């Protein structure tokens, strides 16, 4: 399942409908649109952690939130080597769910680059971060994040 709604509306989602399912959270917190949320403004948590807490039992993966939607149609190329593909970042606490989302990302011609668990990885993907809305290959993304390449 994929969630693509303004973050400020996340509590309107029927939580029980997502139990046990892999959920891709594509959203970002924008205070001007979503209203101020003190625990996000203070850095205590991330929007994905709040979403995950609301959707109890869901296997939440943060992804597709750092790429302009038009680029999804234009920049995927499954013929390129992994490290030369456009990076799409993922974060989550469920390693198996992240693997499944990474496979999906690969099938559409992009390279999944893991930024970590929801707390730390989610912070790395927030608007205004060094990777947010940047056109990076997997190689460039790993360099930007200080990660060792996966060959």
| C-alpha pair distances (Å), 139 with each of 44, 78, 112 | 30, 16, 11
Q: Going residue by residue through the chain, which has 151 residues, state the pLDDT in tens, using 9 for 90 and above.
A: 999 999 999 999 999 999 999 999 999 999 999 999 999 999 999 999 999 999 999 999 999 999 999 999 999 999 999 999 999 999 999 999 999 999 999 999 999 999 999 999 999 999 999 999 999 999 999 999 998 765 4
Domains of the chain: 2-145 (3.40.50.720)
Q: Which residues pair with 116 in a beta bridge?
A: 91
| C-alpha pair distances (Å), 105 with each of 6, 43, 56, 86, 89 | 22, 28, 25, 10, 9
- State the pTM of this model: 0.93
């Amino acid at each position: 399942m994929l969630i693509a709604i303004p973050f400020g509306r996340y509590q309107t989602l029927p939580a029980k409908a997502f139990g046990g399912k892999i959920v891709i959270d594509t959203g970002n917190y924008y205070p001007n649109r979503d209203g101020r949320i003190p625990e996000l403004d203070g850095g205590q948590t991330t929007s994905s952690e709040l979403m995950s807490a609301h959707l109890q039992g869901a296997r939440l993966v943060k992804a597709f939130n750092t790429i302009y939607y038009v680029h999804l149609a234009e920049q995927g190329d499954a013929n390129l080597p992994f490290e030369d593909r456009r990076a799409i970042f993922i974060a989550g606490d469920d390693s198996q769910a992240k693997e499944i989302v990474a496979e999906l990302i690969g099938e559409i011609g992009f390279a999944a680059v893991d930024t970590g668990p929801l707390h730390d990885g989610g912070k790395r993907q927030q608007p205004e971060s060094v990777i947010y809305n940047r056109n990076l290959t997997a190689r460039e993304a790993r360099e930007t994040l200080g990660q060792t390449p996966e060959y």
